[in-house]
Amino acid sequence: MAENTEKPPDLTVNSIDDVERLVKELYQHGSPKYKAQIQMKLQEIQRLQEGWQMADMLLAKEDPNVRFFGALTFTVKITLEGSTLNEENSTDLRSRLTSWLVRLTSMHEQKLVIRKLTLALAKFYFEPTVPSIPSVRQLICSTSKGVDAPPDSLSQYPSTPNLLNHLTHEQVSLLLQFCTSLAEEAQSQVGWRPQMDVAKVESRMKEYVDDTASVLAYAISISHPIRTEALTCWNVWVHFAVQSSSWTGSRELQLLQTLINPIISISTEDSDTAGTALGFLGDLLDDHKLIFDNPHLQLIREVLLSAWASEKMEGLHYNDPDLAEFQTFLLGYADVVAHELVEMPNDAAYQSILGLLHNLLKTEGYAANEDFSILDAQAFWNTYVEIVVEQYEESCMAVGPERTRQAEWVHVAKMHILQMVEEFWAKLRFPPPNDFKTWDTDSKRAFAHFRRDVTDLLQSAEVFLGIELLAGLSTITQDSISKKDWSSVEASLYCMNALADRDSDEDALNKEDELMQQIFGSTLFQNLAELGAEIPPRARKTAMDLFDNYSPFFLRHPEYLAPALTFLFTSLESPALAGSAAKAIHSLSSACRGSLTTQLEAFIQQYERFLSWPTADVYNKEKTIGAIAAIIQALPKDEDKVVALDRILDFVEGDIRFALESMVSGRIQQSKMAAMAAIEALASIGKSCQAPDDMVIDLDADPDQPNFWTNGLGKTIQDRVIRLLFNVIEVWEEDGEVVEQVCSIFSTGFKEAAPGPFVLPAMVFVDFFKRTPLESPRIDQVLSTTSAFIQSHIPSSTPRIDAEAKLVLDHLIELLHIINTPSAEPEAAQGCIDAIRRYFTRYIGVVLQLQPADNLAKVFSFSIEGLQCAETLTKLAAVHFWNDFLALMNQPAEIQGTLDQVVVHFGPSLAKALIQEVGGRAVQSELPALVGPLRLLVTRHSGAQRWLEDACGDDFPVYSLPTADRAIFISRLLASRTGGLSAARLVVSAFWSEARTAAMKSGIDVRKLKK
């Protein structure tokens, strides 16, 4: 490593020369460490009382860096001590600053030093102790005279315009810089001062605006680069003015507005300042449109319709970066007159403006990579479409002449929006793959974002255009297909996918089907199925999305399924397309299962071929075999389902066999992949075998009667599924992903309303659950599935499972004992509490018969501890547990008696836990849930009042809340019993707020108090 030879700085300061030396070293030192030391020393010196004199001395030095530091020192001193200046000090400081500005300008000082000095002078004039004087005119007179002009002598000088005519450009530049500094400092002051002081700042700026406007008018009128400085100054002043409430509609604002027309004229000149003028005008049109009155807008419209604008538009086709300001200007104006552009279809000028806006969409280059104007133009067209939709919905109610007027603008608006769609469609096209690879990440991300935004725009336009939009896109698509322009085909299909979720009445649906028949009946999928053809993979993937998005079409028109499925199965062979193809096969087959039963054998044979391809990975196999299972589910005869399911389960068994063989031979990774393929395929088969939502279920059927799937031939399938399931469980039960899929398979059966191949006997799940220890991976998933298991046996249409429910409950109790306290394992505790809560509806007797009695006590004591758990989800599980338990009523006498005993025994502990939570420990979002069990306790149990009073006793968590306030809370809570849940919530919320406030005043964090 190279040795650092720089010497540490000498920070000794005995004279101004030492200060000068340090300033120079600050700009010369390369070491960040030493620069920081020097800077700290100089800042220390600036804060000294001698800093005022030091600033003067430094400004007299030859080095511009030293003079800049002198100007900076004035700024620092004014910031720190400006408010303490008396009248004499203020007069002296103003004179010194003005003199330095005049003198240094005459010496052609660097702009950086002048700017820093003008900032110091501007800051000075906004100090509360500084008397108000016409600061701009004072500097004008001083500059003209060459020395500081005392404020009381300003009336002796010629008029401001007369003085300006005799100043050099450099002197005018000084004045512009000072005026700019005034506006910038005023904006800064407004940002942090109290409202009273803000009013003073705005008032003082009004005093300065006349002379500032004169300076601006003069500077803008001369043909010199100084115009750019004038435009910058005007822009800063306008932004200050439009944000100041006291300037609205004022004479002072009108003074600034008088400069708009000259600035518009400048924007059309062939000069360096034209772009700056356009940019400022465009930004103001976008951000502060109210500053432009009708004559201004009329002039802007004339400019945009002139030959100058036509020349600018010609340039847009060559992506000239200097034309960005013109685009901002045009779009800013269009945004201001957006309603007129919609509502005045017969105005030729506005139609010409819309023509310019269409041209913005035709610039060369790809969006977000070369053509950035399209991104700004998109915002305007969003606004245009929103206005059209809003006006259209309102005018649909119109009658008479208003109805006729509507017809005129609707026709023109449709024309423009359809044209806009075609222009955006052209911009959606991807570049050739090799070119796209050269784009950086940001460009790719921006392009993807642009495409998503266009889909939003299309969906908005569809509200107005209806089926006409899809018809237009269909025409574009067919034309692109005939030309085999695959980039254009992809863009067209991308747009059509965006419109797939449209709500259609029967007539519109018929028209939509006619249009889609033209697409699906074309050569599109025949061409795409030729994998050797030079078709970008993206075009094929976007085409696959059609099957998912337009699956209802295939349900209505199954005759188009064959070419689509041929294309999809062919695409399974391509590594780039297999994933999308598998997903589309699954989606299409699930939606159209009833139409594909005659093709089942072909599907299975195709799947067998697919298994030999390199693309037969876990995901693709799962999706494809799920598609076959969906078709099997649609077979009319259960016997045929058994035969077909047996065949595809052979594939699953083959993966399990390979997984076990790989494990024995030490190929652990291959073993895991094969096991995952098997279990995910089994899960996919189970989901696909579920009865469709529209399938009719006989709810009156006797659940105990023999059934094909539980007692007949179908039981062989169930037995095989169980065997395959446990083959995997026994080997990979410690693998989280496997456990998750096993839970998914069980859940599949729980969701069914009638027996089926995956509606497994209850004891099968019990065997799985009983072998699941607390440390099992995905224990939260297992417990959630356990809740679903109990819940699925609550309907009276299902057979009772008391014995199985008891075995599950016994294991849940074992887990509670191991967890011991909810805070130790909050997620597992939540799952256990929630699972036991499911028993209350139909199996409360199983809970109350727990033996030994300690187990029953553990259930309720554990759930009370859960109420005070720091984890919100665990706490809410306990809240719902007690809410459901306390709500139990009208039970058989024996059960009801036991329920009452439980409440009497645990009531005091429950009341204490609930009171501690609503007494400040709970977070506010938990209160609505906590009110439920608290209200049930006071409405249904006579001992509740005493329990609550004891809970609000001396060990109440917020000791500083007076006892009387606690008593008032209890009385109000008892009184709310007749007022419903909402009344109780108001009482609890008020009590919680009082407790929190009391705790805060006492310095107590109630959430950290011991329970």
Q: DSSP letters along 419-450, please?
A: HHHHHHHHHTPPPPHHHHHTS-HHHHHHHHHH
Which parts of the chain have pLDDT scores under 50? 1-3, 318, 705, 1010-1011
HSE, CB side, 13 Å, CA atoms: give it for residue 348: 2
Residue 243 and residue 105 in one domain: yes
In angstroms and rounded to an integer, the radius of gyration of the C-alpha atoms of the chain is 40
The contacts found for 408-414 with CB under 8 angstroms, 24 or more apart, are 408/345, 408/346, 409/342, 409/343, 409/344, 409/345, 411/345, 412/345, 412/351, 413/342, 413/345, 413/388, 413/464, 414/464, 414/465, 414/468
Secondary structure, 3-state, 527-569: HHCCCCCCCCHHHHHHHHHHHHHCHHHHHHCHHHHHHHHHHHH
Q: Is residue 16 part of a domain?
A: yes
Q: Is residue 878 part of a domain?
A: no
Residue 457 neighbours by CB distance under 10 Å: 21
Residue 102 and residue 56 in one domain: no
| Residue 152: Cβ-neighbour burial (10 angstroms; 0-12, 13-18, 19+) | exposed
Helices (runs of H) and strands (runs of E) counted in the chain: 49, 0
Q: Last residue of a domain, which of 219, 238, 258?
A: 258
Q: Determine if residue 956 is left, alpha or beta; phi over 0 gives left, psi from -120 to 50 gives alpha, anything else beta.
A: beta
Q: Is residue 209 part of a domain?
A: yes
Q: Is residue 247 part of a domain?
A: yes
Assess contact for 430 and 538: CB atoms under 8 A. Answer: yes
Q: At what angle do helices 715-732 and 668-688 cross, to 10 degrees?
A: 150
Residue 108 and residue 237 in one domain: yes
HSE, CB side, 13 Å, CA atoms: give it for residue 186: 26
| Residue 749 to residue 417: CA distance in whole angstroms | 50
| Residue 516 to residue 942: CA distance in whole angstroms | 69
Task: For residue range 748-789, list pLDDT tens digits in order.
Answer: 999 998 899 999 999 999 999 999 999 999 999 999 999 999
Assess contact for 895 and 843: CB atoms under 8 A. Answer: no
Assess contact for 926 and 917: CB atoms under 8 A. Answer: yes
Q: Which two tokens stand for residue 912?
A: 């204490």
| Residue 239 to residue 236: CA distance in whole angstroms | 5
Query: Looking at residue 1009, what is its pLDDT?
Result: 54
Please work out, in degrees rounded to the nearest 5, the angle formed at the alpha carbon of residue 427 by the alpha carbons of 484 and 389: 115
Residue 67 and residue 163 in one domain: no
| Residue 64 to residue 113: CA distance in whole angstroms | 7
Residue 13 and residue 37 in one domain: yes
Q: Is residue 60 part of a domain?
A: yes
Helix (H, G, I), strand (E, B) or coil at 245: helix
Assess contact for 386 and 460: CB atoms under 8 A. Answer: yes
Residue 513 neighbours by CB distance under 10 Å: 17
Assess contact for 692 and 752: CB atoms under 8 A. Answer: no
Q: Which two tokens stand for residue 621?
A: 């196999």
Residue 131 and residue 244 in one domain: yes
Helix (H) or strand (E) holding 783: helix 779-792
What are the backbone angles phi and psi of residue 656, rounded to the nearest 5°?
Answer: -65, -40
Q: Which residues contact 934 (CB under 8 A, 6 or more apart)?
A: 914, 918, 973, 984, 988
User: Total domain count for the chain?
Assistant: 2
Residue 153 and residue 252 in one domain: yes
Residue 367 bridge partners (DSSP):
371
Assess contact for 626 and 684: CB atoms under 8 A. Answer: yes
The closest of 575, 576, 516 to 547, measured between CA atoms, is: 516
The closest of 265, 375, 390, 266 to 331, measured between CA atoms, is: 375
Query: Looking at residue 29, what is its pLDDT?
Result: 66
The closest of 87, 238, 102 to 167, measured between CA atoms, is: 102
Residue 104 and residue 252 in one domain: yes
Q: Is residue 17 part of a domain?
A: yes
Helix (H) or strand (E) holding 328: helix 324-336
Q: Is residue 612 part of a domain?
A: no
> How many Å separate Cα 239 from the centre of its chain?
30
Helix (H, G, I), strand (E, B) or coil at 371: strand
Q: Is residue 989 part of a domain?
A: no
Q: Which two tokens stand for residue 476?
A: 């574009």
Q: Which two tokens stand for residue 671?
A: 């073993």
Helix (H) or strand (E) holding 947: helix 944-951
Residue 142 and residue 5 in one domain: no
**What's the start-to-end Cα distance of the chain, in Å?**
60
Query: Looking at residue 815, what is its pLDDT?
Result: 97
CA distances to 136, 151, 389, 825 from 385, in Å: 48, 58, 6, 54
CA distances to 133, 204, 246 from 200, in Å: 14, 6, 11
The closest of 64, 62, 61, 122 to 94, measured between CA atoms, is: 122
Query: Looking at residue 673, what is its pLDDT?
Result: 94
Q: Last residue of a domain, which of 220, 238, 258?
A: 258
Q: Which two tokens stand for residue 804?
A: 């199985």
HSE, CB side, 13 Å, CA atoms: give it for residue 312: 27
Residue 151 and residue 192 in one domain: yes
CA distances to 119, 176, 200, 232, 401 from 180, in Å: 9, 6, 19, 8, 54
The closest of 121, 235, 183 to 227, measured between CA atoms, is: 235
Residue 61 and residue 103 in one domain: no
Assess contact for 825 and 774: CB atoms under 8 A. Answer: yes
Query: What domain range is 34 assigned to?
Result: 1-84
Whether residue 957 is preceded by a cis peptide bond, meaning omega within 30 degrees of 0, is no
| Residue 384 to residue 864: CA distance in whole angstroms | 59
Residue 71 and residue 155 in one domain: no
| Residue 223: Cβ-neighbour burial (10 angstroms; 0-12, 13-18, 19+) | exposed
Q: Last residue of a domain, which of 258, 277, 299?
A: 258
What are the backbone angles phi and psi of residue 759, rounded to the nearest 5°?
Answer: -90, 85
Q: Which residues contact 67 (CB under 8 A, 6 or more apart)?
A: 58, 59, 61, 104, 109, 113
Residue 441 neighbours by CB distance under 10 Å: 7
pTM as predicted = 0.78
